[in-house]
Each structure stands twice: as C-alpha cells, then as structure tokens.
Amino acid sequence: MWRNTKDRELRDRAAEVIPGGMYGHQSTAMMPEGFPQFFTGAKGTRITDADGNEYIDYMCAYGPNLLGYQQPDVMRAVAEQQGRIDASTGPSPLIVDLAEAMVGMISHADWAMFCKNGADATMMALMIARAYRDKRKVLVARNAYHGSMPWNTPRPAGVVAEDRAHLIYFDYNDTQSLADAAKQAGDDLAGIFAAPFRHDTFADQSLPDAEYARTARRIADEYDALLIVDDVRAGLRLCRDCSWETVGVRPDLSAWGKVLGNGQPISALVGNNRARAAASRIFVTGSFWFAAVPMAAAIETLRIVRESDYLERLTAIGEQFRAGLAAQAVEFGFGLRQTGPAATPMVLFEDDPDFRLGYGFCREAMTRGVYMSPYHNMFMNAAMTETDVAQTLEATGAAFEAIKKSRASLKPSPVLAALMEA
C-alpha cells in the first residue's frame, strides 16, 4: 500500500532549513499532489522513496541514468578509482584518456574540456563563442533550456536585463526566424545555440528539420560565428555521436552532461579546431572539475556505449512503452500526443490545456509504482526490460481507468496554475 508519512515529515523539516522546502528541477512542487520528494535508494530501473515505496523510474534522474542505476561495471570503476585519487592538486591521467575517448567518438570534436553540470558546459560554450572573434551576440531558441545560469534560467527572479542584453531569440525549426535573428546581430554575431531537438517543458517535442539545421550551419559560417549543439539532455540517447549527426550537420561546439558518467558528476564541452584557440583563452574552472572518480565512471560508460547495444535496447523499450500507452489511451477513450524520440518520450493529453488530465494520470500511475512526468520529457534507460514495461502498463492501464471515472472532478494543479499565470 502506497504511503507518504515519512516524506511529509521530511518536507516539514526541509521547509524550515531549505528555501521553499526544495529548489530547482528536483523540487516536486510542480508535480502532482503527493509525489514523493525524498528518495533513499536507486538501483537498475527503480527508485525507492523515503517511505519505502518503489517506482519504475521514467525520469532517470532527469537524464543521467543511461545504463541503469548502479550499473555494476561503472560502479566497479568508481570503487577502484576511489582507492587511488579523486579531487586533488592536479588532474589524473584519466582526463587525457577521457578527452581521447570523446574525440574518438564525437565526429566534430578535436578537443574536450570537463566540468560538473550541464550549465557549466553551456556557459563555457557561450564564453568560447564570444572569445572566438571578440563578438557579443548569441542566438538562442525561444523557451529552450540550457541551464539555470542568469543568461538562461526560466524564472525572472535574480536576473537583470543586462544578463541577457546580447541574446537574440528565434523560433526553433524556423529558418526565416533564425536568419532574421542573425541579421539583427549583424557583424556582432558570436554564436548560435541549437537544441538537438525541441524538448521544451509543457510542449510537444519536435525533431530538427534537416534544412533548419543546415541553415544554422550556413549562417554560422557566413558570419564567422560558432554553432553550438546543447546535447546535455539528448546526448547518447539518439546516437553514439553528437545528436546532429542524425541530420548530417556538425557544430563547432557541443555540450554534454547528464549521462556522461551514468550518474557520476561530470559534464563536458567538446569542440573543433576552429574553436580551439578561443577555448584555450577563456578562464574557466571549478574545485571539482578535475576529479578523477567521475572521469573513471565516464570512461567506463563510454566503453559500454561503444561496445554494447544499449542504444538499440533502450530505443526498443521506449517504443514498446509508447505503443502500450497509445493502445491504452484508445481503449479508455483518451487522446494522447506522444512526440519526439522514443528514447526521451513526451506524453501529453489532447484537450488538456491546464494539464489536469496529465496530472491526474501521473498521480494514479505514481501510487501504483510508476514514476512519470506530466510536463517534462521522460528518459529510457538500457536496464529496462519487457517485464518493466509490462508492469508499467498494468499500472498505467489502471491509471487510465481511474481518471476515466474521476474525469469530471479532476482539478488543475494550483501550483501550475499560479506559474502559468505569472
């Protein structure tokens, strides 16, 4: 029987000592009522909350869990490296091994730099683009998320207009809008940020139009600016290379994070020789950026990526999950919009402008042991099996049935309603 007594107690304590009770994307404030905030275990495809409820986890830590939580080979590499050296006075030789592994794997990459979070990598990309020809303007797709730094955080508090003074926004997949933005930047155009595909929260996903991607490349070349692909979220779930290899376009820089160490804290920026001099001029660093343990985890993760069929497996499971949900939606009379790659499924309900159906559905699935998001794309991992999908579909079938019955009384989330109004 699902319960949340301990979670509630922890929330009460957190409200006293953590601003807002919790912050950032792992705050469950925006999730449906009762979603657990605290977890005590994660293994394979499952997470366990503070009350001992277990869930098949379709959020995968918001991405990092690529191969299964605590994947044994990665954890062995971590344990062995912990006995040698981690954060220290200088990097270990693993930084060279890892840079070589990334350059070997990512077609456009001639060099790599390592950091901790995706936002570190996108910030470096921004700085390198500006340092490249000492120009200022950077084009960013409207509503695209590149991290929580002032230049891109989605909420206005603590941000001043000057933080974004040199950003120009365009519409994703719209070549005209991109060309207009570039024209506006003129000879001050430093760089173009491209998401591998459109994966904004609360919205259908869309894959990049190849013509749009080629236009981005052409504009960057014409203006002598750098093209950046932010692969922090999509990286290694579409292909074993930069995600824009799928549309045949090579950026100058790509940002990586999340999956790189299968959950160990590491991210990276890789680039081509065109961007190398600028990358060596900027000063960027962090106390833990050179730590060896996450690098050992990343080297092992990349080995598995190269040598196993992890990608084909997680894609196939994603397709099964998607097909199962689609069939159930028809059975229970709901319209579902399932968009984007099967490896990062987005599930939204038709005719659900205030998301009450999605919230109701995810809440019912959650109390039956399946953790899904009603507004953010989800993530598949390679440890997932057909048994997981079967168990998931049992829960989601019951969830559809429950919201079919309660449909008339479902209410929109007050937190979400307030946010949408703001």
Residue 201 CB, nearest distance to ligand PMP (Å)? Answer: 9
CA 133/CA 376 separation, integer angstroms: 36
Q: Which is nearer to ligand PMP, 57 or 230 (CB)?
A: 230
Residues 42, 119, 291, 378: which binds ligand PMP (CB under 6 A)? 119
Q: Which is nearer to ligand PMP, 145 or 361 (CB)?
A: 145
Query: What residues from 218 to 247 belong to the interface with ligand PMP (CB under 6 A)?
Result: 230, 232-233
Q: Which is nearer to ligand PMP, 196 or 397 (CB)?
A: 196
Q: Which is nearer to ligand PMP, 251 or 360 (CB)?
A: 251
Residue 118 CB, nearest distance to ligand PMP (Å)? Answer: 2
CA nearest 209: which of 194, 223, 222, 227? 194
Contacts of 236 (CB under 8 A, 6+ apart): 66, 259, 260, 305, 311
Distances (CA, A) of 334 to 229, 340, 402, 404, 414: 36, 19, 12, 8, 23
Confirm if 81 and 393 have CB atoms less than 8 A apart: no
Confirm if 125 and 132 have CB atoms less than 8 A apart: no
3-class secondary structure for 285-315?
A: CCCCCCCHHHHHHHHHHHHHHHHCCHHHHHH
Residue 84 CB, nearest distance to ligand PMP (Å)? Answer: 26
Query: Per CB under 6 A, which region of 141-149, 218-226, 245-253, 404-412 contacts ligand PMP?
Result: 141-149
Interaction of residue 122 with ligand PMP, rule CB under 6 A: yes
Q: Which is nearer to ligand PMP, 7 or 230 (CB)?
A: 230
Interaction of residue 205 with ligand PMP, rule CB under 6 A: no
Residues 32, 118, 251, 271: which binds ligand PMP (CB under 6 A)? 118
Q: Which is nearer to ligand PMP, 26 or 273 (CB)?
A: 26
Residue 258 CB, nearest distance to ligand PMP (Å)? Answer: 6
Query: Per CB under 6 A, which region of 51-59, 143-151, 301-309, 336-344 contacts ligand PMP?
Result: 143-151
Query: What residues from 60 to 99 belong to the interface with ligand PMP (CB under 6 A)?
Result: 62
Q: Which is nearer to ligand PMP, 257 or 360 (CB)?
A: 257
Q: Which is nearer to ligand PMP, 288 or 350 (CB)?
A: 288
CA 65/CA 68 separation, integer angstroms: 6
CA 84/CA 103 separation, integer angstroms: 25
Confirm if 375 and 202 have CB atoms less than 8 A apart: yes
N-terminal to C-terminal alpha carbon distance within the chain? 37
Residues 68, 147, 191, 360: which binds ligand PMP (CB under 6 A)? 147
Number of shown-chain residues binding ligand PMP (CB under 6 A): 12
Residue 119 CB, nearest distance to ligand PMP (Å)? Answer: 3
Residues 132, 145, 290, 371: which binds ligand PMP (CB under 6 A)? 145
Residue 49 CB, nearest distance to ligand PMP (Å)? Answer: 22
| The residue to which tokens 């709901």 are assigned | 334
Name the residue number minimizing CB distance to ligand PMP: 118
* Three-class SS state of 370: strand
Tell me the sheet residues that pair with 43: 46
CA 250/CA 107 separation, integer angstroms: 8
Residues 117, 215, 315, 373: which binds ligand PMP (CB under 6 A)? 117
How would DSSP label each residue in 243-254?
GGGGGT---SEE
Interaction of residue 146 with ligand PMP, rule CB under 6 A: yes
Residue 219 CB, nearest distance to ligand PMP (Å)? Answer: 21
Query: What residues from 247 to 266 belong to the interface with ligand PMP (CB under 6 A)?
Result: 257
Query: Per CB under 6 A, which region of 68-76, 77-85, 112-120, 378-386 contacts ligand PMP?
Result: 112-120
CA nearest 146: which of 260, 229, 212? 229
CA nearest 264: which of 315, 311, 300? 300
Helix (H) or strand (E) holding 371: strand 370-371
Confirm if 232 and 255 have CB atoms less than 8 A apart: yes
Q: Write down the H helix ranges in 106-192.
A: 118-133, 175-185
List contacts with ligand PMP (CB under 6 A).
Answer: 62, 117-119, 122, 145-147, 230, 232-233, 257
